[in-house]
């Protein structure tokens, strides 16, 4: 069995703001280097519902599917199938919890699993995603501190 990745970070905002930054303002913090098109100006969209798509749209209008939302429970929880840059049959699962610590601080717990279903591809994909989360989260933390990011309504 390949253990899930478990990553946590603390952001200096309430849970609703953190959820909104993660899902509605992703384009503001997601590095182009972690995309399919790698084009500056791309838009990342989380369709705000269970069954919604997660995708990028390049400036020329091309769309690339990254995943599908399996749980939409703002501002507490979000879960999705994740297949950025690979076929959907190779999707893994991501579960994100937004845990209020104080009125102005939230712990974001991410569990990324499903590596066993990838066979021999599981261990290297897990390692690559560990590096991916390590590179992404500082951008997310910084974006949570920007007061201009909108809150998402349930």
- Which CATH homologous superfamily contains domain 5-27+72-144? START domain (3.30.530.20)
pLDDT digits (tens, 9 = 90+) for 110-151: 999 999 999 999 999 999 999 999 999 999 999 998 754 443
Q: How many beta carbons lie within 10 A of that of residue 136, not counting itself?
A: 19
The residues spanned by each domain of the chain are 5-27+72-144
What's the sign of the alpha-carbon dihedral 138, 34, 29, 102?
negative
pLDDT of residue 153: 36
Distance between CA atoms of residues 21 and 17, nearest Å: 6
């Amino acid at each position: 069995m390949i253990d899930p990745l478990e990553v946590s970070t603390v952001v200096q905002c309430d849970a609703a703001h953190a959820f909104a930054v993660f899902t509605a303002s992703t384009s503001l913090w997601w590095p182009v280097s972690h995309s399919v098109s790698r084009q500056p100006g791309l838009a990342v969209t989380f369709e705000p519902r269970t069954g919604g798509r997660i995708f990028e749209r390049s400036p020329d209008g091309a769309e690339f599917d990254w995943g599908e939302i399996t749980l939409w429970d703002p501002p507490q929880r979000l879960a999705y199938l994740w297949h950025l840059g690979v076929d959907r049959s190779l999707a893994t699962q991501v579960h994100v919890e937004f845990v209020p610590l104080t009125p102005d601080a939230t712990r974001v717990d991410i569990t990324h699993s499903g590596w066993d279903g990838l066979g021999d591809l599981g261990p290297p994909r897990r390692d690559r995603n560990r590096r991916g989360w390590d590179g992404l989260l500082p951008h997310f933390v910084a974006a949570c501190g920007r007061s201009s990011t909108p809150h998402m309504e349930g």
